[in-house]
Structure 1
Amino acid sequence: MSASRTERLLNLLIALLNTTYGLRRSELRDKVYHDTTSTDVAFGRMFERDKNELRRIGFDVETVTDKGWGSDDPATTRYRIGKESNRLPDVSLTPAECTVLILAAQLWEHAALGSAAVNAVRKLQASGGLADAELPAGVQPRIRPAGQAFEDLVAAMHAQHPVSFRYLAGSTGKEEERLVEPWGLGSRFGQWYLVGHDRARGDKRFFRLSRFTSAVTVLTKERFAPPSDFNVREELSSLPELPVQSAVVDVAAGALHGLRTRAHAAAPGPAAAPPQAGRDRLSVPYRDVETLAEELASYGPRVRVVSPPELVTSVRRRLTAAAAFTAAPVPAIAFPAGSPQGGAPRHPRKRTSEDQLARMLQLVPFLVHNQGLHISEVAANFGITRQELEADLRILICSGLPEGYPDDLLDIQWDDDHVTISQDLDLKRPVRFTVEEACALLTGLETLNGLPELAEGGALESVTLKLMAAAGEEGLKAAALSAPEVGPGNLAALETAREAIRSGTQLRLRYFSPLRDTVSERDIDPLRLYSLDNTWYLEAYCHSAQGLRNFRLDRIEALAPTGRPAAETAKASDSVPVKLFTPNDDDAVVVVELTRRGAGLADEYYAERTAELPDGGLLAEIRFGSTDWLPMFVAQHGGTARILEPGGVAEASRQWLAAALAQYED
């Protein structure tokens, strides 16, 4: 990242914003660029690149041409940026609207649009449009990260670049290379779909992300134009739900209680060999082969698929890929100095002048509306280190009007570690939402329609209308993204838990634990409800475990009040939105290698440190409460994740996969 280029772009922006008449290129070259060495052609190329970067951020650089009076008086071209260019319109929100908006932004926590949602909320804070709001207990929905393919597709879709990937065709069962113009992404029937123009077939096609068998390659040198009236939700509504089919599996006797609850004994087939001793033959209903294959592969040697053949093939393919990855050479395990520990994972951010300038344009209005904040608090708000923030501030205080006096420079002080700004040079209003920011908020608001308590009262509708007006054309592009429903499935357990939270009552639950493959009864003090897509969780103090635990509502077999009050010492965790995993001192620290396809798992499992690998993969250091289920984790992800350390867990994974594959050997 070039600090000099960032400073030059900022000074160019300030100069063009603060001129009414406009500045000639010769004036800009002399007063802003201080360029005396390059040729006119070289300077012209640099100036055009800088203008394009400002336009990419959203500032419309106007060109004004004055015609000369004669042949000896050539035309004069001047440049300027209007005062209202790319400024976020004033948005005033009520406390109820702010509550809904914050919930919509938090939906994306670690998904592709998480940082965009944070930036959008920060812009509203900087404009003074965000009032204090109290989040309701028991209503904290989130969207599950949809993997690295989702991240890459969102970026390509917004930049209008075509993509290529390998795809497992549902009609033929064969892997094929696809070249697609991504028009939209949406969720339907619990699956993420890409809708776009398949160039090889010359027509619109639907692609299920679970059938991608390679990483997504973005063709950055090519562009396309999507249909002007495209709406991914309307497109996906035309998809019929897959029919229910039956799979025949042999399951180890007494194992896999969760699978057994939705299965029944399979009738003996005329041609199939009987199950081995110690195995039960079951019939399992399913709709999607790949979804069931992911689950069955994780069970390793405890399950052998008998039919249908395409399910056998899919499970074997996943196990074979996982075994091959575990046998591959191990990279050097090293994390960058200063990698964050104990907090949210931070993948290496883009280190470009344009990214830094975009952050500075958020930083100035934020400081104007938050005078006197401690410098560490400002850095934390922007997700950067204190050193990075001070580097930004040093560039800002050297920037201002061309050849201006000291009063014509940005004036920011932080000598006492409290940051104040007294001269903002008309940068005090945040820039408009980017298309990613508009999509994050508007798609999140649409998703909240699935929660009756939010859909009622009008706040959801009114804040959506206000943000649509503020987002302008970028808001219209939100129709290219549709998130999954977050409405609860187990309404009875949800209402019982919600009433117990309101009344401070203890509950007794009967709960199935897939890790231990057992059903247990526990007394709990309920604290908070939240969701991940349409899967809801109950955070509670468990008296058996003597600590905070998260219980999936769809795994609760019975839930009823005990008649006793909840203990006053039990408190919900401070994280908002709540995490699925609460770290403890006796956790196992595991080093995981992820391919580029599986890189999103680092966020999903709250990696404490990450390091990029030369092939685009990732090393991740993750805390796990138990390592017993990690062989299942490796098998489930079919060649996109493997354990490197501890060595014993890595070896257990290899043995698990070998035993699973041995079942399918003739």
Structure 2
Amino acid sequence: MAERKSERLMNLIFLLLSTRQFLTKEQVRAAIDDYRASSDDAFNRMFERDKGELRDLGIPLEIGSFDPLHEDMQGYRIPRDAAELPELELTAEESAVIGLAAQVWEHAGLAGQSSDALIKLKAAGVAIDTSAVPLAQPRITAAEPAFDAVWEAARARQPIRFPYGRTGEEPVERHLQPWGVLSWRGRWYVGGHDVDRGEPRLFRVSRIRGDVRTAGAAGAYTVPEGTSVRDLAASFTVNDPVGEAVLHVRRDRALPLRRHALSVTPIDGDLDEVVVGYRSTWELASTAASFAPHVVVVSPPEARALAVEVLQSAVEANA
């Protein structure tokens, strides 16, 4: 219930922050699932509580008329200038945490309703400033059905078991005490204590080939003090890039690629040439393809060809 409430409040913030006009209660209700599924009385109570939560969080809620001809008809919005944070100076560790949080919200299981709510308002004729919600930028990603299950298990400190293996291989059942989930070089991984091997291991979520099942009670183990799943991921990978790739990237798009760019050179008013280091041609191609149509691989040619294959596969799968 607490998670559902948090998601609803986040959706409400996105809606009221993204609009330049006042939204009626009916527009807000139509855009957010929890509100829409409630009775009139339940919605009114829930909305009043949520408005109080926003005030308690220090988020200013502005009430005004959305119709100059009917000033008694009230609407709601969050003023951008009042809600924006002052300039922040973050340490490298703090920036890493915020970057990871942003990557988590890009996952379809967590960001879908927020994006849907914006789409519904836009369809209703409400002016939306999507620059206020950069996390809502869509990406083409392969489905990872096991993501939510391993995420919840890591949060609950609950042992799990699952069939695991590469495509074309016979999966083997693995037993894991998950410590955390992270995005590493464009892939989702779950790290923790491998019960079968008796040592820390890292598992790619997309290679989980079936249902994730519980193998113990919640809170059955503790994560060793000082553990970092990111450090665990680094210990299993080679850090040195094997080459450099040239990409054409639309302005203000593909922010994760830009964060790790070796150089960014404007081409025209809409495109930048972005040079990135890469360790795997397949990883480079699949990551670039996930940002289509805003990213085009220029070189190396083998990565460009692989990116085309990925997009063609996505089209066939959706067909």
TM over 0.5: no
Structure number with greater CO (CA < 8 Å, separation at least 6) is 1
Larger Rg belongs to: 1
TM range (shorter): 0.3 to 0.5
Question: Whose helix fraction is larger, Structure 1's or Structure 2's?
Answer: 2
TM normalised by structure 2 equals 0.41
